[in-house]
Amino acid sequence: MRKIAFILVDHFQVMGLAPVSTFEFANHELGREAYRLSMMSEKGGTVRSSSGVSVETEALGDFPDTLMVVGELLPRPVSPALRDYIAQAAKQCRRVAGVCTGAFALAEAGLLDGRSATTHWAHARRLQERFPKVAVDDDRIYIADGGVWTSAGMTSAIDLALALIEDDHGADVSRGIARKLVVYHRRPGGQSQFSALLELEPSSDRVRRALVYAKEHLRNPLSVEELAASVGLSPRQFSRVFREETGQSPAKAVERLRLEAAKTMLEEGRHSMDVVARDTGFADRNRMRRAFLRAYGQPPQSLRRSLRLIEGTMAS
């Protein structure tokens, strides 16, 4: 049985406790108490979240197997006592994790010096500026560097917990938990925090529907005529409205959707380059390679190699 302790501070973000249910379902999946959970704070007692929901906690005490520091909406410096406890946890715990802006507390304790880390994209620049010794990657869902783990914001806390469970019990157990949680099985750590559909942010339902149609039919040619027909507009009217609302041409937006899907398939590591190119609508790997070079400055083969190196580091 492994002990998992969550450290809370006043105004913590409730979403940071999403891993609690993930570990609870791990116990159900395994048919035993594989994880025992506890809530801790510097002095114990009631800790109030940013939403007003309160949680009862124990005072800092014995070190658990895995310590998870839950972040705040607006990260603030931690107290000297809490900073020292987290610093000592790096020597006493098998794993220490910063959930969302919990990475700031880990950085204050010196745990992230010389390591790669992530946090919510909205706070990544601030993390890098305050702690220049940390290699901050604002586009990762989570990062494991040795025994120190960090995650992006909000729902990525679930991805982090699933990755921790997979680290302990394997992919089959993690996959079974994800099904019970009704979430996509653990997104790879290298997956982007951003989504093309979110970034394009069209204001009308018609353009949004066209983008959803494109995402669901990537193997189609997805010409302007096809996209316009999917929402009942003429090609000329569709092109004008699309550019007004997204600032991009339909062809450019479709390429972004194809790139996002191809990157995800590469991260999964189960498909050949030819299959990835076919299923995401690039038609052939050369066309996909040119698109990757334009968008990421590297070919898909280099991206796949770098992801394998990351996974190898996580496994070691």
Q: Are the C-beta atoms of residues 148 and 9 closer than 8 Å to each other?
A: no
Which residues are CB-contacts of 30 (< 8 A; sequence separation ≥ 6)? 169, 173
DSSP 191: S
CA distance 55 to 13: 12
According to DSSP, the residues that pair with 96 across neighbouring strands are 67, 148
Query: Among this protein's residues, is 100 annotated catalytic?
Result: yes
Q: What is the side-by-side order of every strand in the sheet holding 2-7?
A: 43-48, 54-59, 35-41, 2-7, 66-70, 95-99, 148-151, 142-145
DSSP 78: P
User: Exposed/middle/buried for 222, CB within 10 Å: 0-12, 13-18, 19+?
Assistant: buried
Output the six-digit token pair for 140.
């990762």
Q: Which residues of 131-145 are buried (b: 16+ CB within 10 A; e: fewer)?
A: beebebbbebbbbbb
Q: Which of 37, 68, 100, 160 is catalytic?
A: 100
Nearest to 137 by CA among 128, 147, 149, 146: 128
Nearest to 308 by CA among 190, 172, 186, 169: 190
From its phi and psi, is residue 283 left (phi > 0), alpha (psi between -120 and 50) or beta? left
Q: Which helix (H) or strand (E) holds 7?
A: strand 2-7
CA distance 157 to 144: 13
Active-site amino acid positions: 100
